[in-house]
Amino acid sequence: MDTSHYYHWLYVMAEKQERFRKKLLFLIIFLLSLSIFITNTYFLYVSLLFTFLFTLLSWWIKFRIDRQYSLGQDLQNIHILEIAYNKTPSQFEISHLKTRSGLQVLREVEKIKQKSGDDPDPGAEYSSKDLTAGNKKLTMMIHENSYWNHYLYKYTFEKNLQIMVVLILSILISAFVLLPLVKGILFYDIIKLIFTFLSFTILYEFLESTVKLKDASSSMLEIDNELSRNTTTLSEENLLNIFAHYVHIKKNIPTPSEKIYTQHRDLLNKGWNERNIAS
């Protein structure tokens, strides 16, 4: 099964674009702040034009990022079911999802397949154990993923808070220190309005994503606790409801970055292994 390669590269591409977009948003704030000190009308128009174009570009990039994350999560959810029940839930759906992933993802997947040949699937560890019931395998995967996602969302939330502090400080410095220095004419009043609108639009976006991360982290912890309490008594209906809830949570949240995953991987592995030994 090459499904895991597809969603992996969708996540990689989305993460790269996400990093670029964050830099672009800070550049927009910088250009708006810079425009305050420009006295030449021509250069002022140019600065505002680039600010407007960069804003449109950031919105377009966000659309692409959301699309890639959504495709990746759909493929990953199907992959979980493939591993649990040793069959593809819907070959029709998965073929369409892979096609929508694009040529760049296809080329990267083909490179991996040529290099690795028939390497085992990353999730095959669940099938290698003596677990004949698909429900039990699905429970194990949801349980471990909810544990990891709870902490990864939590770390991403804390990182977003740091970015928000820097962003708020930048806006406040510009609003209360730089803007009062602007000449009191109509054209500069327009600049103030543009600055205020775009600044708070960007700030609202960061605030919204940060709140979603906090809620998602708490929801993943609830799933983790639910499965910890009912590892042997969970009915199939309840399990599928939990899986549907798990899918719904992930659908609204971008996958945590590779950097955050790498930074905390050993710590989370240690915690999960200790939990398994204790149980």
Q: Determine the structural domain holding residue 196 and report its residue range.
A: 3-278
User: How many domains in the chain?
Assistant: 1
pLDDT at 117: 57
Strand residue runs (E) in the chain? none
* Integer Cα distance of 102 and 252 in angstroms: 22
- 239: tokens are 């399990």
Instruction: With a cut of 70, list the residues of the chain below it in pLDDT.
Output: 1, 36-39, 116-133, 174-197, 231-233, 278-279
User: What pLDDT, on a 0 to 100 scale, did the predictor assign at position 83?
Assistant: 83
Q: Which two tokens stand for residue 154?
A: 């939590």
The C-alpha atoms of residue 266 and residue 114 are separated, in whole angstroms, by 30
User: Given this model, what pLDDT does residue 217 score?
Assistant: 93
Burial of 276 (0-12, 13-18, 19+ CB in 10 A): exposed
User: Considering only CA atoms, which of 110, 107, 106, 11 is closest in space to residue 67?
Assistant: 11
CA-based end-to-end distance of the chain? 32
Per-residue pLDDT reduced to its tens digit, 41-83 = 777 778 778 888 888 899 899 999 989 988 988 888 888 888 8
The pLDDT of residue 129: 46
